[in-house]
Amino acid sequence: MYGSRGAGARASVAVAGAVLLLAGCSSSDDGGDKDTSGARMSQQPKEKDPFWVNPDGNAAEQVATYVKDGKDEDAELIRRIAEQPTGEWLTPENAEQEARGFTEAAAKADRDALLVVYNIPHRDCGQFSSGGAADGNAYRTFIDQVAKGIGDRATTVILEPDAVLHMVDGCTPDEFHEERYDLLRGAVEKFKSLKNTKVYLDAGNAGWGKPDDIAEPLKLAGVETADGFAVNVSNFYKTPDSTKYGKELSSKVGNKPFVIDTSRNGNGPYTDGDPEENWCNPPGRALGETPTTDTGDDLVDAYVWVKRPGESDGTCKGGPKAGQWWPEYALKLAKASKQ
């Protein structure tokens, strides 16, 4: 079983609303409360969680819709998602504009942007989120555009979900490996050349295999130059399991710190269905720990919501295509949440 296969499918694709953020138009100056069509948004204190909450995200819009329709109970459930910062998945077509818009909006709110870069050539091995840049040169241009959009604003980048893992698990053909390593190293170096950008290279999850198998590939991909690595992106493994996996891996890559995606891991992974599709819109899942940099562990830099809860993993189990907002699923995640 490839516990992470299809993270691309689970990865939400950035929505068109990103371009509307070019001037940081919707955030309050202090990053606190924000009125969105009658639905009021707030977020945690900056010292607990420095990342920016997008007041125009799908969850915030859903809260506003429920408030307008008098569905107050549903609105409060979705608010559990809307008031937490989530990763913004950049689209190649508007990479520079989106990166600038998100980071400017975050800076205006005195917060850090959380961006996900997901455009490696031969992405997702032909699955739900297949595609990516046409070739290496196109990818380098894309990375340059993202970096230009970020500028000197405080930003954390989650770099290429599954890109390393899919070389290890056999999903990505051998002939693409050398170029992919080169592209990932180049992306890490580009982002680290920016004044206030941190970059975490995706490193799989607690269920796919052994840390020994991915440690050297991560080094080839530039993890030693990066700020660290990310685990459990778009996946469901509980935080203690993810922490154990991350610490074992850290010990093999220079004791690098890591971040954990806790967006949907409240009930752990789904194990009752087809093992090859247990990652795809699994029933009975729940929101995990709320995002924070106050993890109580020196090796765990943050709990982050890289995956945006409530956005579909793909056209399975009745879901819409990958990345589309699915309010019914979002409500189930929030109802099951113990947070």
279 is in an annotated binding site: yes
Q: Where are the alpha helices (DSSP H) in the chain?
A: 7-10, 58-68, 72-82, 95-108, 136-150, 165-168, 177-192, 211-220, 239-250, 327-336
Confirm whether 144 is a catalytic residue.
no
Q: Is-contact 166 202, C-beta < 8 A?
A: no
Cα–Cα distance for residue pair 261/285, rounded to 1 Å: 14
Measure CA of the first residue to CA of the last residue in the chain; give whole Å.
30
* CB atoms inside a 10 Å sphere around CB 126: 10
For residue 155 the two structure tokens come to 């930003």
208 is in an annotated binding site: yes
Cα–Cα distance for residue pair 121/162, rounded to 1 Å: 12
Confirm whether 49 is a catalytic residue.
no
Using a 10 angstrom Cβ sphere, with 0-12 exposed, 13-18 middle and 19 or more buried, the burial of residue 116 is: buried
Cα–Cα distance for residue pair 305/290, rounded to 1 Å: 8
Instruction: Give CA separation, 132 vs 70, 74, 76, 197, 232, in Å.
Output: 41, 36, 37, 23, 21
Cα–Cα distance for residue pair 31/136, rounded to 1 Å: 38
311 is in an annotated binding site: yes
198 is in an annotated binding site: no
Cα–Cα distance for residue pair 103/149, rounded to 1 Å: 8
Cα–Cα distance for residue pair 217/202, rounded to 1 Å: 11
Q: Which of 49, 56, 74, 162 is catalytic?
A: 162
Confirm whether 213 is a catalytic residue.
no
Half-sphere exposure of 321 (CA within 13 A, CB side): 7
Using a 10 angstrom Cβ sphere, with 0-12 exposed, 13-18 middle and 19 or more buried, the burial of residue 75 is: buried
325 is in an annotated binding site: no
219 is in an annotated binding site: no
For residue 99 the two structure tokens come to 């990166």
Classify 99 as helix, strand or coil. helix
The residue with tokens 């990166």 is 99
Q: Which of 49, 74, 112, 124 is catalytic?
A: 124
Position 333, amino acid: L
Q: Enumerate the active-site residues.
A: 124, 162, 313
* Residue ranges at the known binding site: 89, 208, 235, 279, 307, 311
* Residue ranges at the known binding site for substrate: 89, 208, 235, 279, 307, 311
